[in-house]
Amino acid sequence: MKTHILSALILMASTPAFACESTSIGALSVVGPWSRATIGAGRPAVFYVAITNGGASDDALVAISTPAASMPMLHETTVTDGVASMPHAMSIPLPAGQTVQLAPGGYHGMLMGLTAALTEGETFPITLTFEVAGDVTVNVAVLSLRAEGPDCGTDGQ
Amino acid sequence: MQLRTLQKILWAVASFATLAFGTWQFSQDRGPSVGEQAPFRPTFALPDAEGQLRTQADFEGKHLLVFFGFTNCPDVCPTTLAEVAQVMDDLSAQAANVQSLFISVDPVRDRALGLAEFTGAFHPSILGLAGDDTQTRAAADSFYIHYERQDDTTAPDGYSMSHSPALYLVGPDGDWLRQFSYGTPAAEILADLRSRL
């Protein structure tokens, strides 16, 4: 695992190391929280992360909160009959033994009411609330507006 | 009562037509050759950020890469525009033969938020267009794409927009060539474009 991350870091010299942060709470690992730089503070920002449930029982991500935005919400992009919509997700299931991605085109956090524009290279804290495991705060790396995600070797790039 | 029945029939017809188009568009996604079955030429007349009216005729001789979206969209739209930006960068000199367009399906709010600022942040060559409701609907219809305002208390201003998330390719003579479904990697779009330029 360590060599994996290390080699990914060496390969992706342009990817900031903080984008590959991994934090554990109980049986859950929260890996590579990232966002995209925003154009001003008037439009919502996004929040992506990979969560692995290494435990034997299911959990769920039920809320996110951050000082960076007054109204952070969980959403899911769905494409039905060729039309994309973005319904609110009450909670994101984290089945035992599985990794769930909040990633472009699927589950994501939508950060509305930004307190300030997100600038590439900075980080901001976000608290994830899990149904079973409780709360954990991680640092979200702000990547470029054009980023498709950090290359941590673990987030399904 | 009579009207209700008529309405029901009309809705049924409309639903069927939508489904038919959806299925047809899906089949178009298989590749450019299928497009030959039913050639059509999308049209639009929409103002750019400066208010200048742009139509498909302005871009004759160029390939058009067209995306319908809205600037308040945090996931699908930035992801797709980032891909378009990558394609435009990678085309280098050939980029002169391709015009990428971002057509707003949420024109009033997008104008207020800043249309050029949004498209320019991805790539200076992406041209943003935002018309009124009639112009926008006409453009969407001519591409056979769907968009709809959806009330959503968990979205900014209490609404979001659902929309067809694909990228559409129009040829230098105005013919619709194909669509790239959402998530098509930039490299694939680039390879397809290069084979045509």
Measure CB to CB from residue B164 to each of A83, A88, A111 and give the nearest one: A83
For residue B127, CA distances in Å to A82, B25, B54, B103, B116 come to: 24, 25, 10, 8, 7
- Best of A73, A83, A90, A111 to mutate (most B CBs within 10 Å, chain B): A83
pLDDT at B135: 98
Strand partners, B120: none
pLDDT at A86: 87
Residue of chain B nearest A83, judged by CA positions:
B164
pLDDT at B17: 62
CA angle A36-A38-A42, nearest 5°?
140
The verdict on a CB contact (< 8 Å) between B71 and A43 is yes
Q: Is residue A112 within 8 angstroms of chain B, CB to CB? A: yes
Q: Is residue A77 within 8 angstroms of chain B, CB to CB? A: yes
- Best of A34, A35, A38, A43 to mutate (most B CBs within 10 Å, chain B): A43
pLDDT at A57: 97
Dist CA A62 CA A93 (whole Å): 9
Q: Is residue B124 within 8 angstroms of chain A, CB to CB? A: no
Measure CB to CB from residue A82 to each of B25, B76, B117 and give the nearest one: B25
Dist CA B101 CA B84 (whole Å): 10
Give the CATH architecture of domain B40-196. Answer: 3-Layer(aba) Sandwich (3.40)
DSSP one-letter string for B25-89: HHHHTT-GGGGGGS------EEEBTTS-EEEGGGGTTSEEEEEEE-TT-SSHHHHHHHHHHHHHH
Average model confidence (pLDDT) for chain B? 88
Q: Is the pLDDT of residue B191 over 80?
A: yes
Residue of chain A nearest B19, judged by CA positions:
A81
Which of A 29-68 lie inside 8 A of B, CB atoms?
Answer: 36, 39-40, 42-46
Kindly provide the ipTM of the predicted complex, given to two decimals: 0.80
Q: What is the mean predicted confidence (pLDDT) over B82-103? A: 97
Q: Per-residue pLDDT tens for B40-70?
A: 999 999 999 999 999 999 999 999 999 999 9
CB pairs under 8 A between A and B: 94
Query: Residue A132 burial by CB count (10 A; 0-12/13-18/19+): exposed, middle or buried?
Result: middle
Q: What is the mean predicted confidence (pLDDT) over B152-171? A: 93
At residue B155, the 3 state secondary structure works out as coil
Q: Per-residue pLDDT tens for A61-84?
A: 999 999 999 999 999 999 888 899
- Best of B73, B80, B154, B182 to mutate (most A CBs within 10 Å, chain A): B154
**Residue pointed to by tokens 């007054």:** A70
DSSP state of B169: E
Residue of chain B nearest A75, judged by CA positions:
B154
Which of B 147-176 lie inside 8 A of A, CB atoms?
Answer: 147-148, 150, 152, 154-156, 160, 162-166
Contact B84, B100 (CB under 8 A): yes
Q: Answer left, alpha or beta for residue A4, where phi above 0 means left and psi between -120 and 50 means alpha.
A: alpha
Q: Is residue A111 within 8 angstroms of chain B, CB to CB? A: yes
pLDDT category of residue B124 using cuts at 50, 70 and 90: very high
Q: What is the mean predicted confidence (pLDDT) over B21-38? A: 48
Q: What is the mean predicted confidence (pLDDT) over A148-153? A: 78
Q: Is residue B86 within 8 angstroms of chain A, CB to CB? A: yes
Q: What is the mean predicted confidence (pLDDT) over A78-99? A: 92
For residue A89, CA distances in Å to A94, A105, A110, A139, B13 come to: 13, 14, 11, 22, 32
pLDDT at A19: 77
Residue of chain A nearest B179, judged by CA positions:
A82
pLDDT at B31: 41
Q: Is residue A108 within 8 angstroms of chain B, CB to CB? A: yes
pLDDT category of residue A21 using cuts at 50, 70 and 90: confident
Tokens of B98: 């391709």
How far does B56 lie from chain A, in Å, by closest CA? 24
At residue B144, the 3 state secondary structure works out as coil
Q: Is the pLDDT of residue B39 over 90?
A: no
pTM of the model: 0.81
pLDDT at A81: 86
Q: What is the mean predicted confidence (pLDDT) over B81-99? A: 96
Contact B191, B182 (CB under 8 A): no
Q: What is the mean predicted confidence (pLDDT) over B129-157? A: 95
Dist CA B115 CA B130 (whole Å): 8
